[in-house]
Structure 1
Amino acid sequence: MRPILALIALLGTAACGADAPPVRPSAGVGVSVDNAGVSTNANLGATNGIVSVGLSL
């Protein structure tokens, strides 16, 4: 029983792409005050060391 469960776990891990570099999430928020008033910003992103993607709001 144990070898079968180990084989299923190994196949499941291989199927989900666990051999790829880990994806690191990033996030940030900011508030700024100037003569025009108060403004806010936020950004979300992810990188795996080679490719980075992000979204700024």
Structure 2
Amino acid sequence: MYGLKDASAEKVEYDFDQKHVLYGIRVPALTILGKYEISGRILVLPITGKGDVNITLCK
């Protein structure tokens, strides 16, 4: 994962009764690199594959 160093905090909410903390951050660009393997079906269409994945999310 690349790009988190450029993140900025947007909000932080605390719920002391439930012991929950919610963080909101803004990341200008986030890149996730990895491997994937999928085997499944969408309706009647079989979906299979494996390989490298590069996901880049921008504003």
TM-score by length of 2: 0.24
Name the TM-score, length of structure 1 as normaliser.
Answer: 0.25
- Work out which of the two has the higher radius of gyration on C-alpha atoms and give 1 or 2: 1
